[in-house]
Every structure is written in C-alpha cells, then in structure tokens.
Structure 1
C-alpha cells in the first residue's frame, strides 16, 4: 500500500520545522545583540551625564584652560562614540527586523504545512469511516436477509 498523502509530507514538515527553529534561534541572537547595543548606548549616555556633572563641579572651583580643552576634546570624542553606538543600534534593529520577517515567513509556511497534513488526515479518516460504514451496511443487509455469511 502506498504511503498516505499526510505521511509523504512528514519529511517536508521536518525540514520546515528545522528551518523555523533555526530562524527562531537567529532572531533570539539578534534580539540579544539589540539589547546589548541598547545597554552600551545607555552606559555611554550615563557616562556623558556623569562627565558633564564633573564639569559643573570643577567649573564652580575654577579650571585651567588646559583642563577645559581636555574636557571639550574628551566630550567631543564621547559624543562621537555615542553617535556611532546609535548607528550600531539602528543597524542591529534593522537586521533584527529582517531576521524577524524571515522567521515569520518560515513559521507561516510550517503552519500551512501542518494545516494541510491535518486536512489530509481528516479526509483519510472520513474516507475510512465511510468505508467502514459501507461494510457495516452490507453486513447488516446480509444478516437481515438471513444469510450471516452472505451466501
């Protein structure tokens, strides 16, 4: 007897499940990178705030021209680093969105295949039920005709 349509789809479903799992893992990895980039940006922004607070404290006591130049140079470098980290965060977010779309496509494909297999199984069950009912009807007719063996 040949394999049922549902059984023939099992290898395809297994491949789709594997592809969906891999995409989900990739999405999780990307989400981790986004969180990491967000934390790094937050750290840099807090550091800038602390550094600016230091300016306020030091400025009240008076600072030298050299200190002020060093402060401004470092603050400029810090602003550059913050800008670069923002760009990095946006890149990670865009990448994560692309990976999410791939996962969504693979998940939808997998769910479609599962529904198809369920439909095939339901159709096979219905056909089997009809076949059994036909056999029972024939047996019932034989018994009512008085010949239990159908002769």
Structure 2
C-alpha cells in the first residue's frame, strides 16, 4: 500500500522539482540583475569622482563662467542618474529578496514531498520485511517435526 502511495506521488514530486528549479533560475537571474545594477552604480560614482577631480585640476588653472555653468549642469544630471541607479539597485534588491523567498518555499515543499515519499517507501519496505518474516516463520513451523 505504501509503495503505491509513493508511486502515485512521483508526478507531484517531478512537478515540485521543476517548480523549484525554475524558482532557482529566477533567483539566479535576479541576482545577476542586481549585480549589473550595482556595477552600473559603482561606475557612475567612479565617473563622478573622476569628473570632480577634473574640476579640481581645471579650477586651479581658472575657468570661464560658461565652463562652470556647464559643469554644474552636468553634475546635476550625474547626481540625478546616480539617484535613479540607486533606486534601481534597491528595486533589484527587493526582487532578489522575493525570488529567494519564493525559492525557499519551493525548496521546502520539495523536501517535504521527498521526505513523505521516503517515509512511504520505508513503510513499504518494513511491511514487506514483516510479511517475509511471517512467511519464514510459517514455513519453519511446517517443517518442524511434529511430536506424537
């Protein structure tokens, strides 16, 4: 009986396995997107640092009013881009959190199903061993010489 229950659960375990694998793939994609957005943020901040260094170099030599206006305008745009990229990083972090949570749920369900199937298989094996032992005992009983 337990063997049949385990066999009936096989398609459910297969579906849960595929669901868990897809959740793991989604988590991987989310982690990659987070890494990409973090790398872009680092690059923007590095670019800002380089641009500020350029200001220090050029500012020491004297700059025109137009250059200063353009510099300020560009810094404002760069600050805005950094802010947007920071929000992108935060959004991707939230996606990773959700994807990890989903994967953990799928993994826990799969492990629960595997344990249930294993329990059914263990029960079936124990029942088979019990039946075999009973048959052996009966056979030994029959083969034992009868006292008169």
- TM-score over 0.5 (shorter chain): yes
CA–CA separation in structure 1 for the residues paired with 2:52 and 2:16: 53
Q: Which residue of 1 aligns with 2:139?
A: 139
Corresponding residue pairs, total: 146
TM-score (norm 1): 0.94
Deviation, structure 1 residue 145: 2.8
Q: Which residue of 2 aligns with 1:149?
A: none
Q: CA RMSD in A?
A: 1.4
Q: Which residue of 2 aligns with 1:29?
A: 29
Higher relative contact order (CA 8 A, sep 6+): 2
CA–CA separation in structure 2 for the residues paired with 1:38 and 1:2: 51
SS of aligned partner of 2:44: helix
Where structure 1 has 5 or more consecutive residues not aligned to the other structure, the ranges are 147-151
Q: Which residue of 2 aligns with 1:89?
A: 89
CA–CA separation in structure 2 for the residues paired with 1:3 and 1:96: 39
Deviation, structure 1 residue 2: 10
Deviates more, 1:131-140 or 1:2-11: 2-11
Deviation, structure 1 residue 37: 0.2
Displaced runs of 4 or more, over 4 A: none
Deviation, structure 1 residue 99: 1.1
Q: Is the 8 A contact 2:5 2:120 kept in 1?
A: yes
